[in-house]
């Protein structure tokens, strides 16, 4: 693919309209802290900023492709949008799902399948994910893995005796904390945490414990104990999934690199030029704080907290212009 054939095709940086998910554990931080209006909902658990899940696809917000789904844009532009390797690998099935999650109450203790299990059970993909904490109330927790070696029978007994939380590993959550959660890792987002989630394009979740919670009608939510125990990686359940990193202002710092996604952080107080000449892949700019302008393919487009922009693979150069301060998660597959 030749990058210099961009403008004759009319492709440009794409912004997307979000999807709003009301959850029993949701709150109002997406409105109060991020500044996104999700009325008429009274609460919001998940803001899907980019999705290709069947029946729940986000659509383009800007330009002549407005109201076109992501898969439709991929069908039109193929490797010019995704890059040759990515289009050959994924076709029209965009491989990532990007969210903001507001845990006003504890999320269920859960685990996700890997690709092998998912494909054997008619699921699109497994689910490896990462979390980047945007805000956390004092004392808020992230739960991941166990404090000691546990077997399948141990977990069953603890669930029956309501003592699973006695061995759940937890960290006090703080803004900027980073967690990498491979498929098979038990985890839960604790009450009071607001975070960005980057994951494989999958909505497959197996709940193994829901804090003895009931819904608005007094019914407990469905659990998936058999499936959860089948996919749980008991060999990697001790300790934390927290990842240490050190970032530098006005520079790009890698946070996570795995077969499913690469995520970098770009904290900005002055303009930054990005050279993508040597990369044949898309880049996602997920703004998690502040606002600014993105200059790319002869377009100058605003981007603010809670929004995402897709930089096509044909792009050679991007200039990011923050308005005082801006923080971007740069996401791709390389």
For the question of whether the overall pTM of this predicted structure is more than 0.85, the answer is: yes
Is residue 207 annotated as part of the catalytic site, yes or no? Answer: yes
Mean pLDDT over each residue of the chain, to the nearest integer: 94
Q: Are 68 and 92 within 8 A, CB to CB?
A: no
Which residue carries 């058999």 as its tokens?
Answer: 226
Active-site annotation holder among 66, 158, 207, 221: 207
Helix, strand or coil for residue 153?
A: helix
pLDDT at residue number 220: 86
How far lies 66's CA from each of 49, 55, 203, 227, in Å?
15, 18, 25, 40
Share of the chain above pLDDT 70, in %: 97
Q: What is the pLDDT of residues 273-298, one digit of tens each?
A: 999 999 999 999 999 999 999 999 99
Partners of 141 in the β-ladder:
172
Is 80 exceeded by the pLDDT of residue 216? no
Q: What is the pLDDT of residues 228-276, one digit of tens each?
A: 999 998 877 777 799 999 999 999 999 999 999 999 999 999 999 999 9
Domains for the chain: give ranges and CATH numbers: 19-57+96-236 (2.60.120.10), 253-332 (2.60.120.10)
Is 70 exceeded by the pLDDT of residue 6? no
Which residue carries 């994910």 as its tokens?
Answer: 129
pLDDT at residue number 8: 46
Question: C-alpha angle with apex 186: 227 to 203, nearest 5 degrees?
Answer: 60
Q: How far apart are CA 74 and CA 95, in angstroms?
A: 12
Share of the chain above pLDDT 90, in %: 90
Q: How far apart are CA 142 and CA 193, in angstroms?
A: 8
Q: What is the pLDDT of residues 54-95, one digit of tens each?
A: 999 999 999 999 999 999 999 999 999 999 999 999 999 999
Residue ranges of E strands in 159-315 = 168-172, 178-181, 187-189, 193-200, 206-209, 253-257, 262-268, 272-275, 283-296, 299-304, 308-311
Q: How far apart are CA 177 and CA 243, in angstroms?
A: 8
């Amino acid at each position: 693919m030749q990058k210099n054939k961009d403008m004759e095709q009319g492709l440009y940086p794409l912004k997307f309209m979000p999807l709003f998910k009301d959850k029993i554990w949701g709150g109002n931080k997406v409105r109060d802290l991020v500044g996104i209006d999700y009325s008429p909902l009274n609460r919001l658990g998940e803001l899907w900023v980019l999705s290709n899940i069947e029946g729940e696809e986000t659509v383009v917000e800007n330009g002549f492709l407005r109201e076109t789904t992501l898969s439709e844009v991929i069908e039109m532009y193929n490797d010019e949008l995704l890059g040759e390797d990515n289009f050959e690998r994924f076709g029209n099935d965009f491989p990532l799902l990007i969210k903001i999650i507001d845990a006003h109450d504890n999320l269920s203790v859960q685990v996700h399948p890997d690709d092998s299990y998912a494909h054997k059970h008619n699921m699109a993909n497994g689910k490896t994910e990462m979390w980047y904490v945007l805000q956390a109330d004092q004392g808020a927790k992230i739960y991941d893995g166990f404090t000691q070696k546990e077997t399948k029978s141990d977990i069953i007994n603890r669930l029956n005796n309501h003592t699973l939380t006695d061995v759940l590993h937890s960290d006090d959550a703080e803004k900027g904390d980073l967690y990498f959660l491979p498929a098979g890792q038990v985890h839960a987002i604790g009450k009071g945490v607001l975070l960005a989630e980057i994951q494989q394009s999958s909505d497959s979740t197996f709940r193994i414990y829901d804090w003895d919670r009931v819904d608005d009608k007094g019914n407990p939510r469905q659990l998936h104990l058999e499936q959860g125990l089948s996919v749980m990686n008991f060999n990697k359940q001790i300790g934390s999934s927290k990842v240490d990193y050190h970032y530098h202002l006005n520079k790009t710092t890698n946070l996570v690199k795995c077969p499913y996604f690469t995520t970098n952080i770009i904290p900005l107080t002055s303009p930054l030029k990005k050279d993508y000449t040597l990369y044949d892949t898309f880049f996602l700019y997920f703004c998690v704080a502040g606002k600014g302008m993105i200059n790319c393919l002869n377009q100058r487009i605003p981007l603010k907290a809670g929004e995402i922009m897709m930089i096509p693979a044909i792009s050679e150069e991007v200039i990011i212009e923050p308005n005082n301060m801006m923080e971007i998660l740069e996401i791709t597959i390389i």
